[in-house]
């Protein structure tokens, strides 16, 4: 584990109360739950997240938001 990365994450949590961006009214957990539930992301073997084909198609405009 990279010590500096963990320290940066802890500083972010301390300063903002968030691990991720502060934009919007939904928490990171809610955003992740939504994206997982809609099949836009999956958990990778190392615990991170990866876009699915559906997620990539949404970003590319192949799928419309309304069609989720």
Q: List, for residues 6-56, the tens digit of each pLDDT value.
A: 666 667 767 776 656 666 677 777 877 888 899 998 888 877 788 889 988
Q: What is the pLDDT of residue 20?
A: 63
Q: How many whole angstroms from its chain centre is CA 29?
A: 8
β-strand 49-51 against 41-43: which pairing, if any?
A: antiparallel
- This prediction has a pTM of 0.68
Q: Look-up: residue for tokens 């300063």?
A: 15
Measured in degrees and rounded to the nearest 5, phi and psi for residue 3 equal -55, -45
Domain boundaries, the chain: 24-68
Q: Look-up: residue for tokens 């992301």?
A: 41
Q: Are 21 and 15 in contact (CB under 8 A)?
A: no
**DSSP class of 52:** -
């Amino acid at each position: 584990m990279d010590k500096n990365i963990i320290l940066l994450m802890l500083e972010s949590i301390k300063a903002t109360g968030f691990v991720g961006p502060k934009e919007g009214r939904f928490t990171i957990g809610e955003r992740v739950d939504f994206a997982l539930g809609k099949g836009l992301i999956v958990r990778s073997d190392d615990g991170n997240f990866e876009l699915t084909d559906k997620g990539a198609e949404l970003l590319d405009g192949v799928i419309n938001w309304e069609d989720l």
